[in-house]
Amino acid sequence: MKDIFKAYDIRGIYPSEINSSAALRIGEGLVRFLRKTKKGKPSTRAKLGAGLAPHRNEVSGAGLKIVVGRDNRLSSPVLGRAVKKGILEEGADVIDIGLSSTPMFYFAVWKYNYDGGIMVTASHNPPEYNGFKIVREKADAIGEESGLREIKKLTLQKRKEDKIKKGVVKNKNILKSYLDFSSPRLIFLMPDLKRLRIAIDTANAVSGILIKELKKRLPCKIYHLFPELDGRFPNHLVDPLEEKNIKDLKNFVKEKKLDLGIAFDGDGDRIIFVDEKGEMIPSDFITCLISQRILRQKPGTKILYNICSSNIIKDVVEESGGIAMAGKIGHTFIEERMKKEKVFFSGEFSGHYFLSPYFFEVPLFVLFKVLEEISQSGKTISQLVRPFQKYFHSGQINMKVEDKKKKLKELEEKFKGGKISHLDGLRIDFKNWWFNARPSNTEDLLRIVVEARTKKLMEEKKKEISF
Active site residue 76: no
Confidence of residue 47 (pLDDT cuts 50, 70, 90): very low
Which pLDDT does position 49 carry in this prediction?
A: 38
In tens, the pLDDT along 400-455 reads 999 999 999 999 999 999 999 999 999 999 999 999 999 987 778 999 999 999 99
> How do the domains of the chain map onto residue ranges?
2-177, 197-278, 283-388, 392-465
**Span 332-359, mean pLDDT?**
96
Residue 221 has pLDDT above 60, yes or no: yes
Which pLDDT does position 61 carry in this prediction?
A: 67
In tens, the pLDDT along 175-216 reads 999 999 987 544 445 556 789 999 999 999 999 999 999 998
Residue 294 has pLDDT above 60, yes or no: yes
Q: Which CATH class is domain 2-177?
A: alpha beta
The lowest-confidence range among 138-147, 187-196, 237-246 is 187-196
Q: Which CATH architecture has domain 283-388?
A: 3-Layer(aba) Sandwich (3.40)
Q: What is the CATH number of domain 197-278?
A: 3.40.120.10
% of the chain with per-residue pLDDT over 70: 92
**Span 290-300, mean pLDDT?**
97
Confidence of residue 124 (pLDDT cuts 50, 70, 90): very high
**SS3 of the chain:** CHHHECCCCEEEECCCCCCHHHHHHHHHHHHHHHHHHCCCCCCHHHHHCCCCCCCHHHHCCCCCEEEEEECCCCCHHHHHHHHHHHHHHCCCEEEEEEECCHHHHHHHHHHCCCCEEEEECCCCCCCCEEEEEEEEHHHEECCHHHCHHHHHHHHHCCCCCCCCCCCCEEECCCHHHHHHHHCCCHHHHCCCCCCCEEEEECCCCCCHHHHHHHHHHCCCEEEEECCCCCCCCCCCCCCCCCHHHHHHHHHHHHHHCCCEEEEECCCCCCEEEECCCCCEECHHHHHHHHHHHHHHHCCCCEEEEECCCCCHHHHHHHHCCCEEEEECCCHHHHHHHHHHHCCCEEECCCCCEEECCCCCECHHHHHHHHHHHHHHHCCCHHHHHHHHCCCEECCCEEEECCCHHHHHHHHHHHCCCCEEECCCCEEEECCCEEEEEEECCCCCEEEEEEEECCHHHHHHHHHHHCC
**Span 225-236, mean pLDDT?**
99
Which pLDDT does position 55 carry in this prediction?
A: 38
Which pLDDT does position 189 carry in this prediction?
A: 52
Which pLDDT does position 443 carry in this prediction?
A: 79
Which pLDDT does position 467 carry in this prediction?
A: 63
- Pick the catalytic residue from 43, 60, 75, 123: 123
In tens, the pLDDT along 63-118 reads 999 999 999 999 999 999 999 999 999 999 999 999 999 999 999 999 999 999 99
392-465 fold: TATA-Binding Protein (3.30.310)
Which pLDDT does position 38 carry in this prediction?
A: 82
Quote the mean pLDDT of the chain: 92
Which pLDDT does position 41 carry in this prediction?
A: 55
The lowest-confidence range among 14-23, 213-222, 293-302 is 213-222
Which pLDDT does position 51 carry in this prediction?
A: 36
% of the chain with per-residue pLDDT over 90: 86
Confidence of residue 56 (pLDDT cuts 50, 70, 90): very low
**Span 346-363, mean pLDDT?**
96
The lowest-confidence range among 41-55, 112-126, 156-170, 333-347 is 41-55
Which pLDDT does position 393 carry in this prediction?
A: 97
Which pLDDT does position 193 carry in this prediction?
A: 79
Are domains 2-177 and 392-465 of this chain identical in fold? Answer: no
